[in-house]
Structure 1
Amino acid sequence: MTDLLRIEIADDSLFGPENLPYGVFAPAAGDFRAGVRIGDSVVDLAVLLDDSTFAQPTLNAFLAQGPGRWREVRDRVRDGVTGEITAAAVHSVDSVRLKLPVTIGDYVDFYASIDHATNLGRLLRPDGEPLLPNWRHLPVGYHGRSGTVVVSGTEIARPTGQRRTPSGTPDFGPTKRLDIEAELGFVIGVGSELGERIPTEEFAEHVFGVALVNDWSARDIQGWEYQPLGPFLGKSFATSMAAWVTPLAALREARVPLPGQDPEPLPYLRERESWGLDLDLAVRWNGELVATPPYRRMYWSPAQMLAHLTVNGASTRPGDLYASGTISGPERDQRGSFMELSWGGSESVAVNGEKRTFLEDGDEVVITATAPGADGRRIGLGEVGGRILPAR
């Protein structure tokens, strides 16, 4: 006889049935497989739905099945977790191991926050215009390194490289200006063929959901190498991604208009419906809250980012990841990088009574986010965290 139970969900849980983020987990003794989080539990989808698609150690095959299938599974899962469910499908979230939920073929990082771009422009070009001439005309981005995207909780070794000295020549050693970038990542579900463009109105037909991202940055290495071709070793050593992917379907209540774009974008970047999102992030440095970046102020939407990413015919595949770039607001405590919080290292940040600017060995950063959900409740996007190890 099959044992049945009801999953207990606290009234104030950020992971109620209106959320249902997807991840890949393994029980204490078992193989990795797909699950959804509900309250403080993880539900094994292969067991719940009797579907071998979810017995795989990645979500890619499910994502490739498209929006109709996503809706069907979400409806079935919601019905399953709110009634009696077989006990064999339910695991405590504290008892499982988590891994990257998708196999990432390509990773692109954007620069979509006008507050962040303005702050960095003022730091890097104090006597010039903060925004470069192209910034208000296209979502600026670069191709990152998908092989160094790691799941939340992975420890990060301090990177080593060339750094500019006061004389203008380089030396070599561990970065002295290790930073974070609080970002939102977007996970491709249905890919596109080489030569095909994805218009803004087809965003939700291709993107499955979102996950928090921390794009760790070595600012001194980056500052020496980035001209003329942009970020390289200062970014490619590690990018952390949350273990949970929140489906777009869970963010209906978070949809808001963009703050406004001037000048009007070129036709391929114009939106028929706005994909601004009202998300509140929180950045904790060694447990202390140091910043609360608001995603709702982002200048470029994820639909515009995807349209620009593919307008030249670049293809996409299930599991591909692109991220927003640092999320910042106009206030000091809304800055999503320590480069901004410390104003290039010239202003200290109070962290547990210590005066800090950039990350030291042993430091831990955890980024969380919430969004409006159904019935006035909030939903959580999980967390993305990591601790800094000494350079190898």
Structure 2
Amino acid sequence: MSHALQPGSRWEIALDVAVVAALVSELSTALTTGKFEGLAVMAIMVIAALARRRMPVAATVAAIGGSGLAAVLPESAVPVWVVAQVCIFSLTLRRQGAISVALPIIHASTLYVAGLVALHLLAFEPLSFGLPLWTAAAASAGYALRSQKATIAALHEMVRVTAEAKDSEIQRTLGEERIRIARDLHDAVAHNIAVINVHAGAAEKAMRIDSHRAIESLEQVRMASRAVLQELQDILLILRSPGQLDDIGPMPTVEGIPALLESGKELGLEIDSHLDELPGLDAATEAALYRVVQEALTNAHRYGDGRARLVLEAQARSVSLSITNGYTPTKESTRSGHGLIGMRERVESAGGELRLDDHDETFRVHVTLPIKSGREKQ
């Protein structure tokens, strides 16, 4: 049995005091009258009271028997009935079901008959009905306390479950944020590192033969390094802020895609592009388009044959983005990295679909993102 349904110590002490008071009363009566038959019945009742915690049903049955014997011992009736009510209270406090209803009814009937016999009450006298009502009150008090304890236990359980659910939600949110931050780090840093790598190599080759070209390459290295640092600072700002993570720092938009194309061309990529004028898009869609273009161009430069084609089109209720590049198959070019995983997660989080097609040494990234209405953006 759960701890919440166990009787409280205050009630047990009060019941024990009532039993002791009844025993003292009966002992005093026996010493005064010299009749010790009632004391023998009281001994049975005290044993039943002591057993009521562990064996409430057996104790109540014994108490009902004692109440019946008290019918022939008028001087001992009240103390005996007091102890019997203690057992009734403990029964309804600890047990539920038919037994907790049947035994109090039997005891109430016993008291009604005993009142007529021991106290010579009339059948319809108010006091005759008072004795059964006494039992009903004791039983009802036990029911009420048990119900209260069950309610408190249910509330504690609800609080526990709610706390666990909240903790689980926090852990899930933290996991999603870790994935998002890892995605942002990859998208933001990989492209600019590729730019730095190309221009650093160009500067190294041109240092002795074309100082002007070397200076230009080093300038590109400096600008790309600054861009990497700015991206890292934005992400660190998000990590340090206690507010809404997605609302901090500038979000990439489709307006930055032409700059990505120019950056790719500076890396040596031949890019054929077609960009439609796009309707107002929500922030998640714009960020997804920007990051997909950034990652696809980085991959095209790293693994491709130096050429890429990009088509960004606005359709009736969606935006279509297609990036295609050829490549020469190598062990490294056929390996699926975190960038492709990040692209898929970002597109799906914006409600879109990403398809990857690798056929005849041509790699194609195709993205479809919905154009959301004003209400959906909110």
TM-score if structure 2 supplies the norm length? 0.24
More strand as a share of residues: 1
State the structure with more CA Rg.
2
More helix as a share of residues: 2
